[in-house]
Structure 1
C-alpha cells in the first residue's frame, strides 16, 4: 500500500487443512476497546494540566518591567505569541496520514480487510510483545516494522494458508508516548502525546517557555544525553525545523533559562524583546530575525543603550550608523537598540500650490526658475474650474444629482452654481425665493488669478528662518528674462493666489453682473471697474415702459454674507432671551400656590415649544443680499438710482408694476385685491375684514422695495397708518392682540418687530408668512 519494502517479519501460524467452506474473520466476538490509546492520552493530558495549576495571568520578566519604566510600555517577548493559540489542553495528532517510515509498536491499531477465499474485517492492536493475532491465520510480529511495510507483512502471513486473498491494511488509533517537560516551561509536567508528536508539538502542550525560559536552546534528552537542540527563533522567523525531531517514549524536553535579553525599539518592523543566544549575536543577526528595517528607518542614526554593572553610572548610550561596521557590533544582555525614523524632508524638491491645476512636489533641477515650475498658464486652471466647465453642458437632472453628491464641498457647489436650491430647470427656487437659472452661472467658469502677486517661501537651513520673496506672476509669462522669473532653490514653496484668496483692488476685479425684468435687453454683462447702475441700465438699453422703479431690487453677494452673519447673531440673541425669560418664570414659582405653579409650568412649557419652533424656522431663513434704495414710492426717473459701483455677481431686477395688493394676518379673508390709485390702508382693511382679536393699532405695511412702514415711521401720527396711500405690490399685515403674555411672547408673536428684522436682512412678506405658518 505504501510502496516500500517490508523488513523480515516472523509469522507463526497453525497448520489446518484447506477449509471446507469460506471463512469470515471479524471482531464480532471480541469486546470493543473502550478507547484508543491516543484518546486516553488526551484525557491524561487534561488531568496533568489540571493537576499542575490553573492558567495564571501572563507574567512579565524583570527586563520587561525595566523597559516599562523607561519607555512607558511593556514590550512583548519575540516568539511568545507563537504559543498563545494553545489556549486549551493540547490535542494529540489524530486523523492525519501516517508516515511510511513510522516504526510500529505496542498500542498501534490496524484495520485489516481481505476478500477472496476468506473474508477478513478485523481490527487488531499490537500487544506488548510486538505482535497481533488474527483468527485462523495466527500471530504476526509487527514491532519495528515500518508503517509502509505492514500490509505486505500481513499479506504474506495470510498467503501461507489462503490463496487468492486480496489484503488491505489501514491504521486506527496510534500508540501514545509519554514525555517530560522540565525547566522554564509555562506548564512543566508529564505529557502523553501521540507517537507522531515532535518537539514543537509537545512544546505547544506545555505552553512553551515562560517569561525567563529560553527559546534559543530547547533540548531533548534521551537516555541521559542530548539528542536534539531547537532554536525556536529560526523556526518562527524563517520556518527552519531542522532541530525538530520526533519524540520517543520517556524523552525529556528541557527548557533552560534564557542566556540574556536585548530590546529593539523605534522604527523597526517588529519592536520586541529578543533573546540572545551567546556572544555571537550581532545587530545584523538581530535585525535579520526581526525582518529587517522598514523603509522609514534612518540607518544613519542608531542609539545603543547599554548596562554595565561595574560602573558608577551603569547605563550609557552611544550613537552610530548601521553601516557594515555598525551591523557587526555584538549585543550584550540588557542592551536596548533604538532606531530612529528618517526626517520626512525633501532635499531636492520644490512645491507648487494654491490656485493651480494640482499641488505638486517636483524634483529640483540646476538653474530652475518659476517658469520651469509653471510652464504655461494652463497649469493655473484649478480642478474646480474644470468641474464647472464640464458641468456647463449638464441637464437639470444631472445638476440635481451633482447637488446631492456628498463628495462635493459646499464651496464646490457654490462655485459650480449648485447651491442647495439651484437648478437649470424652471420653477425651482432657493430658500430666499430667487429662481436659479443658467444665467446665474455665467461668468464663473474659471477662478480669477491674482497676476500681480505670487510668493516664494524659502527656508534658511542655517538658522531655520523663513523668508518671503514676492513676484509678479503675469510678468513671468510676458517677460521670462525679467527679475520676476525667480531662480528657485531646493525646498522652495511657490504659492499662486486667486482673487478669493487675497482681495484685489476693485479696479482689477472682473465684474459680471446680471440685469433682469423690465429692461430692453436683459442679460449678463461684463462691466469695467468703476461702472455704476446707470451704466448697466444703459448697456441693457434702458427700462421699458412697464418698468416700476420703486420696486427695483438690487442684490449683492457680499451683503448677503453679512446679512447671514447678522441673522445668526439675531438667532443667538433670541435664544438668550428665551433662557432668561424661562429663568425668571422659574424664580417666580415659589410665590405661587401649588395649583397656580402647575398652571404656570404648563404655560411655560407651551411658550417654550412655540419659541423653539419659531427659532428653528428663523434659522431656516436665508438672507437675499438685497440693498434698499430708499426711493420715494412715486419716483419714476431711473436717473435717481444711487451711484453704486458694480461688483462681480451683482444682480439688478426691474419689475413691472404689480396689479395687486396683499392683505394677511388677523383678517377674515387673506386676499390679494387689485390695486387702485389713491386707495388707503383702511380701504383694503375694510375689504378683507379684520377679526375680533386684530391689533389695528399696530398694522404695518411691507413695501415692494423691502422697507417696512409702521405708525411710528409714517410721520403722520395724527392721521394714523390707515390714511396712508397704498402703492402697487404693498403687503398689509394685521397682527393679533395678546392680552396676557410675557416679554418673550410679545417679541416672538409681535409680527411688526419681526418685519423690521426681516427688512434689515433683505427679506419681505414671504419670510413673515414662512415664520407665521
Structure 2
C-alpha cells in the first residue's frame, strides 16, 4: 500500500499585510507648486509642471499591491514563506507548510528541511533530496504560496512618508509608487536605499522615466529605508521643447544638452538658431540676466545653474527655395525654385489652368440637380431620413428642369483672365510686398517676351478667373437663351458686341406667330438689383406702417377707445398681411424693350449688347385682355382692335367701390400706364389696349380692405410694378 503523507500546517502562515488602495481623497490630492514653479509663473506667465509628478499621480491613483505575484527564480526563501509540496508514485504527498523562524519546514515521515536562503528555483531539488532519503521512485513538485511580508520605511522629502508593509518581491520603484514618490521639493535624481548603515543603491528616476533604465532598482528587504533627499536645484525648459516643464538638476553644472535629452529633445518646429537663457544670480544686482545663443555644439555644452529658464523659439515656417501657384488653376502647388525659372516653367500650357471646379462640372454632366445634392457630404444622413419618409408616399420624378438644364450649358469651364495675373514678391529686408502684374496670355503665347517674368524664391503667382476680377464685356464668353416663337429655340454662344437682332438671326428668325411687342428679356444682374431694391422697399414700408399705426393709436380718444382699438387691430393685420405678400414676390430681372405697339420686326429691337446668361422669350400673340380689381367679373376678354380701357371696363362692369381715377394698365411689354405715368392731361380710360395687357382697377381707399390699405400705405402701387417688373401674377398675388 502506498504511504500517504498529508499535512495542513496548524500554525498560521505569516500573512502579508498589503498596502490599502489609495483613498479617493488621496487620489485627488495634487502637489502644490514649489517656490521655483511660482517664480516661473510670476516672471513668464507660464504654469509649468514638475517633470515626473504626473507619472506618480497616475501610478499612485491606480496602484494596488498584489498579494500573489510571480516569483523570480532567484528569489531567496525565508521565514514566513508558504510552501506547498505534492508527490506521487511510491509515496502520496500533499503538504502545505510555512518556513519557521529558523528557516525550517516540517514534512511528516521525512523530518525537517532547511529552506532559509534557498533560491526558489532550487527549493524543489532540496525537498526531493530530503524525501529521497526514505522513498524511491516518486515524482515531486514544490510551489510557493503566500510570501512573507516586509516592512520598509520611506523618509525625507516624500509625498507620503511613513512605514509600509509590502510584498517580499517589492522593489524600490514599486515602493515609490506605493508612497506617491517625492514631494514638490524632493529629489528624483538621487533616491537612496539604506540597509543598515550602508547605501546599497541610488536611483535616478529621470533615467527610469526617460529611458526605462532600472539598473539601480533593487529588490527590497525587510527593514530597508528609502531616503528621498531635497533636490539640489531646478531649471525650467519652455517654448518649443518636447516636454515643457521644470526639471531637477542632477548636479550643479549639468549641461543643457543633457537636460534636453531628458526632456525628449527638440521638436521639428523648434528653431535651433535661437534660444534664450534667463539666469538668476543672487550675488549680483540686478539678480537676473539674459543670454541668447544657438543650440549648436557650443550652446548645448552650456552648464546650467539652479534657477535658469531656457526658452526655445518657434521655427518661422518660411520657404527659402519655393515658388507658389494658386488661384484658377488645376492644382494649387508649391514648386522648388530653380535658377532662371520663369512663369512658363510654373505654367507650361493653358491645360494647367483647367480648375478642379471645371473638371468636376464636366464629370457631373450626367447628374441632375437632385443627384448633386445627394452626392454632398451629408447624403448618408439624409438617406435614412428619406427612407423613413418614403413609407406610403409616391416618389417624385427627379431630373433637370428646363431652367436648370439650360443654365448648365456653356459653364463647363471657368473663363480665365488672360490679360492679368500677378506675382507677389516679399521683400524680407523691407518687410513689404511688391505686386508685379503681367499678361498671362502673352507669357504663354510668347515665352521670349517680357510678360514671361523671371521668378525669385518665395514668389506667389496668382491666376484669376473672369469673375474674380471682372474683364471687359468684349472679352467674355456670352451664352444666351432664346425661347418661344423662333425657328430654333435654344442656347447660343454669341460674339462680343452681338445684340438681340443677331440672337434672333442665330435662332433662324421669328415665326409668323411671334408677338414681338410682348417679348420678355431677362438679365441676371438686373434680377439681383431688383431683389435688393425690393427688400429695401419692404423695410421702408414696414417702418411707415409701424409709424402710422403708432400715430393712430396715440390719437384715439377715450370715448371710443374700444371701437378704435378693434379698428386699429384690423388695420394693422391687413397692412402686415399685404406686406407679407409683397415680401413673397420674386423679381424676374425683366428689361422693358420699349417697342412700339405696331412693330413686329426684329429691326425695331433696341441696340442692346448681350451678356452671359441673358434670356429672351418671344411669345405668340395672345387673343385676350385681362381685367382685375373692382369689377363685377374678373375675366379674360377677347382683344379687339382699337378698343380702349373704358371699353373693357364697360364690358366687365364696375363695382360701387371702384376708384376709376387710380386705374392702370400693366402692358404685355412689362411697362405700366396710368393717369400719373401718362401725363397731366391724359386719361387712362381712352388708352388703346394691346393683346395681353392687364387692366387693374383698385378700390377706393375709404374701404378698409386689405387691398385698399396696402395701396394707401404704398402710395403708388403702379410705381412698384413698374420698378420691379413683377407682372400680372404679382398683381394677382397682392390682391389675394
TM range (shorter): 0.7 to 0.9
Alignment of 1:527-566 (within 5 A): 527-566=494-533
What is the CA distance between 1:720 and its match in structure 2?
6.8
Q: Distance in 2 between matches of 1:86 and 1:64?
A: 23
Q: Distance in 2 between matches of 1:322 and 1:685?
A: 97
Q: Distance in 2 between matches of 1:126 and 1:762?
A: 109
What is the CA distance between 1:662 and its match in structure 2?
5.9
The corresponding residue for 2:390 is none
TM-score, normalised to structure 1, is 0.81
Alignment of 1:197-236 (within 5 A): 197-236=170-209
The corresponding residue for 1:764 is 727
The corresponding residue for 2:291 is 318
The corresponding residue for 2:709 is 746
Residues 1:283 and 1:618: Cα distance change in structure 2 (over 3 Å):
farther
Is 2:6 aligned against 1:25? yes
What is the CA distance between 1:330 and its match in structure 2?
0.9
Aligned partners of 2:645 and 2:684 also within 8 Å: no
Residues 1:470 and 1:718: Cα distance change in structure 2 (over 3 Å):
closer
What is the CA distance between 1:486 and its match in structure 2?
1.6
What is the CA distance between 1:128 and its match in structure 2?
3.0
The corresponding residue for 1:421 is none
Aligned partners of 1:515 and 1:540 also within 8 Å: yes
Show CA shifts across 1:597-629 (max 9, x none): 997998799679858xx65x7666543322122
Alignment of 1:357-756 (within 5 A): 357-392=330-365, 394-396=366-368, 399-406=369-376, 435-573=402-540, 576=543, 615=580, 622-632=586-596, 635-659=599-623, 702-708=666-672, 713=677, 727-730=690-693, 746-747=709-710
Aligned positions, number: 718
Which among 213, 216, 219 is matched to residue 243 of structure 1?
216
Is 2:166 aligned against 1:193? yes
Aligned partners of 1:184 and 1:212 also within 8 Å: yes
TM-score, normalised to structure 2, is 0.84
Show CA shifts across 1:624-682 (max 9, x none): 32212244555434333222111222111111123556677789998767666677778
Residues 1:656 and 1:252: Cα distance change in structure 2 (over 3 Å):
same
Q: Secondary structure at the match of 1:436?
A: helix
Show CA shifts across 1:48-93 (max 9, x none): x99xx99654300111111111221210111111111145484212
Q: Secondary structure at the match of 1:486?
A: coil
Residues 1:719 and 1:349: Cα distance change in structure 2 (over 3 Å):
closer
Residues 331-340 or 693-702, more deviating: 693-702
Q: Distance in 2 between matches of 1:597 and 1:130?
A: 113
The corresponding residue for 2:15 is 37
Q: Secondary structure at the match of 1:85?
A: helix
What is the CA distance between 1:335 and its match in structure 2?
0.9
Residue ranges of structure 1 left out of the alignment (5+ in a row): 1-19, 409-424, 430-434
Q: Distance in 1 between matches of 2:36 and 2:665?
A: 86
**RMSD value over aligned CA atoms?**
4.2
Aligned partners of 1:93 and 1:197 also within 8 Å: no
Aligned partners of 1:735 and 1:751 also within 8 Å: no
Residues 1:142 and 1:733: Cα distance change in structure 2 (over 3 Å):
farther
Residue ranges of structure 2 left out of the alignment (5+ in a row): 379-396
Q: Secondary structure at the match of 2:593?
A: coil
Aligned partners of 1:755 and 1:768 also within 8 Å: no
Residues 232-241 or 353-362, more deviating: 353-362
The corresponding residue for 2:389 is none
Q: Distance in 2 between matches of 1:595 and 1:167?
A: 112
Residues 1:510 and 1:626: Cα distance change in structure 2 (over 3 Å):
same
Aligned partners of 1:89 and 1:205 also within 8 Å: no
The corresponding residue for 2:385 is none
Q: Secondary structure at the match of 2:709?
A: helix
What is the CA distance between 1:715 and its match in structure 2?
6.5
Q: Secondary structure at the match of 1:237?
A: helix
Q: Distance in 2 between matches of 1:607 and 1:24?
A: 110
Residues 1:531 and 1:58: Cα distance change in structure 2 (over 3 Å):
same
What is the CA distance between 1:454 and its match in structure 2?
2.0
Residues 104-113 or 269-278, more deviating: 104-113
Is 2:187 aligned against 1:253? no
Q: Secondary structure at the match of 2:264?
A: coil
Q: Secondary structure at the match of 1:181?
A: strand
What is the CA distance between 1:504 and its match in structure 2?
2.2
Which among 299, 305, 327 is matched to residue 272 of structure 2?
299
What is the CA distance between 1:282 and its match in structure 2?
0.9
Which among 63, 67, 73 is matched to residue 40 of structure 2?
67
Aligned partners of 1:177 and 1:192 also within 8 Å: yes
Show CA shifts across 1:411-448 (max 9, x none): xxxxxxxxxxxxxx99865xxxxx41533322222222
